Structure 1
Amino acid sequence: MDFDLTEEQRLLKESVDRFIADRYDFESRKGFIAEPDGYSRENWRQFAELGLLAVPFAEEHGGIGGGAVETMIVMEAFGRGIVVEPYLSTVILGGGLLRHGASEAQQAELLPKVAAGELTLAFAQVERGSRYDLHDVSTTAKKDGEGFVLNGEKGVVLHGDSADKLLVTARTGGSQRDRKGIGLFLVDAKAPGVSRRGYPTQDGMRGAEITFDNVRVGPEGVIGNPEGALPVVERVVDEAIAALCAEAIGVMDRMRELTVDYMKTRKQFGVPIGSFQVLQHRAADMVVMIEQARSMAFYATMMSAADDPAERSHAVSAAKVQIGRSGRFVGQQAIQLHGGVGVTQEYSVGHYFKRMTMIDTAFGDADHHLSRVAEAGGLFKAA
């Protein structure tokens, strides 16, 4: 199998790597987090100019017609910078739900705005007690004429406090954990009845608790089948997990680089600690774990576009297991080899480990996905 990038993909990689190297040093990132929305609107505008916001969208919708590989390239670079802009929530999750679930008219109206940086989105899905189960939905959507009325609460909505529109899962029928009877609705974040409470998350991002109190959604806000949105949601979440795996590679790579650089300069007994063989072995173990994770991230990227939901789900779950295990190992080694400075707010490696920890827990941690793989009989079933 050929893993070489095409000329267009190499150009994309060069442009996004250059942007992160030039614009996203650790001190600049602190300033971006301190801005009113928790990220830089100027960076967002530049993302649009570079075509990064248009990567997964079709050309007729203002995109560049990229696929999972192009998304992987962008997300790995963003991991190296621990980028705080709402790329995952707007382009991968929100844009993915529109690409796979919205009508042609809805896509033609909304996706060009996303690609141009004029519209930000957030995916409101998690509820109290739902944990990692996408089908555990108690927020209700009651039929009201041609539209619906939403009531319920959603939590940990990534960038939900600053998003222009919310994509909300709500139950139109069945009981709380039924797979059928789940709809997907596009809600104006400033609509009557929507209340948002934003807060910073441990990794420098923003989250929000959102309440829907008799929020009216017209027929133009219904995305796909109001009784059967779960397969679309599951597909987009699988794509988001693959994207997070790619981001994790960038995070781990940067933790390794910071650690090796520190080992070359930190002295003990009059010599750099990097000269001690036992510490060299630990650095080598970090490389091995990163390369194992990289292979599984490639696998998740290739399988994220698979039409068979079982094959796709098994692949991304297996990748998430390795990403979680590798990320924890690399992060722990990085912190221990840095010593006390590694956990200070002023030093960057601890912030990378925080982001890695949040990636591990997003949409299911390593233990959760290991259970999914085991329940399915393993990644590769015997013939």
Structure 2
Amino acid sequence: MAVLNEEQTMLRDMAREWTTNESPVTAWRRVRDANEPAGYDAAVYGEMAQMGWTGIIIPEAFGGSDFGWLSMGLVTEELGKTVTASPLSASAAAASAIMLGGSDAQKAEWLPRIASGEIVATVAVDEGPRHDPAKIKTSVAGGKLSGTKTFVAEGDSAGLFVVAAADGLYLVAGDAAGVSRSRRQLADFRSHAEVTFADTPAEKLEGGDDALLDSVLDRAAVLAAAEMLGLAGQAFDTTLAYLKQRVQFGQVLSTFQALQHRMANLFSEIELMRSAVEAGLTALDQGGDTRAAASLAKAKANDVGHLMSREMVQLHGGIGMTDEYDAGFYLKRMRVLEQMWGNAAYHRDRYARLSGY
């Protein structure tokens, strides 16, 4: 477990208290039932901005707190525990692209607006059903960008896109000419839009090469893993509480040794997941080559998240299959996050290649 300083501990505790009291799972149920394309409550995101969460990784010179990626991960984990919907992670990943590769003018134009929560930003990379940056065909000619991006997180409400083209990363305003969006409903009921750019004005990021794309994707993947850690941890706690009070065959379920062994295994796996995720977040803060740490974090999160969400439903028995119970929310969100920014097979293969195999 990462050693937190006093400020990080206070941030985590504040996020935990806020999500528990102001954004429980019942709040997500209301967002789901509203069935709006944005997939989140704008007023709630405004509260996050007021608390400074939208500027955690943005430098102070541009309106942020420059509090680091581990701090961002702590907040993201707490949001995962209550399945809170927000564009916080997507905006952070997009902001990182501007921070790493943007010009002074681009930073001054966009980072303060992201830090204040004025706009939602997102990263548009994939062009097929699976994450594969090697197959990008989006092109730019004469400052005009053309291509289609599939399953863009927060694509329905984004005011800024960081778009991966064949020759680098570009900034595209959400209201620019030639931008069209089509809603795509996935199991988690969040925003995953197909976004088409047709001769759309675009600005290239100065450092928009393959190394920059890798760095941005590392940050997106590790934040997804942090959310999955929150989902898995809460799924474990909820399942354990259920086993301690559910009576079957005249006995409390938690007294059955077979179930005790399964829960002990899940606890151990989640602790390993935590180590990998926090190592990934720490690597982002330290800088340098973050690829191996990011792939290890996402691969482990995918494996353990899949296992824990499946076990949550199964160990709850029939009630776990009902919409009235919360177990399904954790499983559905986990399945979508597993595929975002690379599934377990993708990241194991990437990790092996980075290790020389």
TM-score of the superposition, structure 1-length normalised?
Answer: 0.88
Amino acid aligned to 2:304: S
CA contact (8 A) 2:155 2:192 kept: yes
CA contact (8 A) 1:168 1:187 kept: yes
Shift in Å, 1:74: 0.9
Greater gyration radius? 1
Instruction: Summarize deviations over 1:327-355 as a string: whole Å, max 9, x none.
Output: 12212221111112212222111211222
Aligned partner of residue 160 in structure 1, secondary structure: coil
> Which among 266, 283, 289 is matched to residue 246 of structure 2?
266
CA distance in 1, matches of 2:123, 2:131: 14
Match of 1:121 in 2: 121
Match of 1:339 in 2: 317
Aligned partner of residue 148 in structure 2, secondary structure: strand
CA distance in 2, matches of 1:128, 1:240: 18
CA distance in 1, matches of 2:44, 2:35: 12
Shift in Å, 1:324: 1.7
Identity %: 30
Match of 2:204 in 1: 222
Shift in Å, 1:191: 2.1
> Which among 163, 172, 178 is matched to residue 193 of structure 1?
178
Q: Would the alpha carbon gap of residues 50 and 375 (structure 1) be closer, same or farther in structure 2, given more than 3 Å must change?
A: same
Aligned partner of residue 39 in structure 1, secondary structure: coil
Match of 1:179 in 2: none
CA contact (8 A) 1:196 1:209 kept: yes
Match of 1:349 in 2: 327
Instruction: Summarize deviations over 1:14-73 as a string: whole Å, max 9, x none.
Output: 111111001122221121232632211111110011110110011111011111211121
In the alignment, structure 1 residue 203 sits paired with structure 2 residue 188: yes
Match of 2:158 in 1: 163
In the alignment, structure 1 residue 294 sits paired with structure 2 residue 274: yes
Shift in Å, 1:307: 4.2
Amino acid aligned to 1:105: A
CA distance in 2, matches of 1:35, 1:132: 26
Match of 2:292 in 1: 314
CA contact (8 A) 1:141 1:170 kept: yes
CA distance in 1, matches of 2:321, 2:262: 19
Aligned partner of residue 325 in structure 1, secondary structure: helix
Amino acid aligned to 2:154: H
In the alignment, structure 1 residue 324 sits paired with structure 2 residue 336: no
Shift in Å, 1:370: 1.2
More deviation in 153-162 or 241-250?
241-250
CA distance in 2, matches of 1:306, 1:136: 30
TM-score of the superposition, structure 2-length normalised?
Answer: 0.94
> Which among 154, 157, 169 is matched to residue 184 of structure 1?
169
Match of 1:69 in 2: 70
Aligned partner of residue 187 in structure 1, secondary structure: strand
Shift in Å, 1:306: 4.8
CA distance in 2, matches of 1:184, 1:370: 25
Aligned partner of residue 200 in structure 1, secondary structure: coil
Aligned partner of residue 345 in structure 1, secondary structure: coil
Match of 2:343 in 1: 365
Aligned partner of residue 157 in structure 1, secondary structure: strand
> Which among 135, 140, 153 is matched to residue 148 of structure 2?
153
CA distance in 1, matches of 2:258, 2:168: 55
Aligned partner of residue 134 in structure 2, secondary structure: coil
CA distance in 2, matches of 1:281, 1:3: 27
Match of 2:265 in 1: 285
In the alignment, structure 1 residue 252 sits paired with structure 2 residue 253: no
Match of 1:104 in 2: 104
Shift in Å, 1:374: 2.2
For structure 2, which runs of at least 5 residues remain unmatched after alignment?
A: none
CA contact (8 A) 1:248 1:323 kept: yes
CA distance in 1, matches of 2:312, 2:201: 50
CA contact (8 A) 2:121 2:161 kept: yes
Match of 1:21 in 2: 20
Match of 2:44 in 1: 43
RCO comparison, higher one (Cα < 8 Å, 6+) = 2
In the alignment, structure 1 residue 242 sits paired with structure 2 residue 243: no
Q: Would the alpha carbon gap of residues 306 and 289 (structure 1) be closer, same or farther in structure 2, given more than 3 Å must change?
A: same
Instruction: Summarize deviations over 1:239-268 as a string: whole Å, max 9, x none.
Output: 222222222211111001111111122221
Aligned partner of residue 151 in structure 2, secondary structure: coil
Instruction: Summarize deviations over 1:189-227 as a string: whole Å, max 9, x none.
Output: 22222111113321231111111122233xxx33225xx
Shift in Å, 1:132: 2.6
Match of 1:175 in 2: none
CA contact (8 A) 1:239 1:305 kept: no
Amino acid aligned to 1:372: R
Shift in Å, 1:133: 2.5
Shift in Å, 1:373: 2.0
